[in-house]
Amino acid sequence: MTRKIETSRVIVVTGGTRGIGASISKMMHKFGYKVAATYMGNDEAAKEFKEKTGIEAVFKFDVGDFAACEKGIAKIEAKLGPIDILVNNAGITRDSFLHKMTPEKWNDVIRTNLNSVFNMSRLTVEGMRSRGFGRIISISSINGLSGAMGQTNYAAAKSGIIGFSKSLALEVAGKGVTVNVIAPGYIETDMVRAIAPEILEKIVSKIPVKKLGTTRAIARLVAFLVDDDNQFTTGATFNVNGGQYLA
């Protein structure tokens, strides 16, 4: 996948201006897709992203809010056209042991990481069904499969994405729409780099390939899954974790 693809497909990447999302946005733009990247909090990062990538379709709205998603999607489609591909990537962490976790920490993570997948998928899947083509990719996590101390909220949301996607895949299988999940392990992002060095060193030592993954590796898999010719891969969860968790 080194050549530019002749396509008019419109792709939305939530949380698409930083980390894994930014890598996906940039690669899909490079391959010729019409990319809309959404973000919520960091205006400076979004401005820098636009300047560096040339992707002008950058939209700020809260993907955890259904009404905000309705308005955001309307703006995207007015600018680029109907949405063919959705990458649900937006996510946050609010780590805490359960006996100390506040309802706010629980609800914030479920809202951003899981409710957003419903909101964005619900508002785009009808159009995909009616046009006979669609690709929905949602980013889960190794911790949604294995669990993680201090992350009952995050693991619940990321695990929920998998069950949601399997069910939706069955619903739309006969409509030309595929639905898949990518569950990254520890990827070299700002979120992972924020981990205390001594803890991160222990994490890396437990990864069989002995290094962190790259955001580009995730983007390459997205590019494979959304390709027009990839009509037979649906309901699957792809573990990209350097062998750390095998399922």
- Residue-wise DSSP of 16-37: TTSHHHHHHHHHHHHTT-EEEE
Helix 116-131 vs helix 152-172: crossing angle, to nearest 10: 10
Query: If we measure between CA atoms, which residue out of 136, 166, 163 comes closest to residue 235?
Result: 166
For domain 10-240, the CATH architecture is: 3-Layer(aba) Sandwich (3.40)
Query: Is 154 a catalytic site residue?
Result: yes
Can you read off the two tokens belonging to residue 245? 């968790």
Inter-residue contact 72 to 59 (CB < 8 Å): yes
Query: If we measure between CA atoms, which residue out of 211, 240, 230 comes closest to residue 139?
Result: 240
CA dist 103 and 31 (Å) reads 42
Inter-residue contact 177 to 134 (CB < 8 Å): yes
pLDDT of residue 1: 46
Task: List the chain residues with pLDDT less than 70.
Answer: 1-6
Angstrom distances, CA of residue 74 to CA of 61, 71, 77, 191: 12, 5, 5, 30
Angstrom distances, CA of residue 23 to CA of 13, 50, 187, 214, 228: 10, 13, 12, 9, 20
Helix 103-110 vs helix 152-172: crossing angle, to nearest 10: 30
AA letter at 129: R
What is the helix (H) or strand (E) element at residue 66, kind and residue range? helix 66-80
Bridging pattern class, strands 34-39 and 58-60? parallel
Q: Choose, from 39, 154, 186, 245, the residue flagged as catalytic.
A: 154
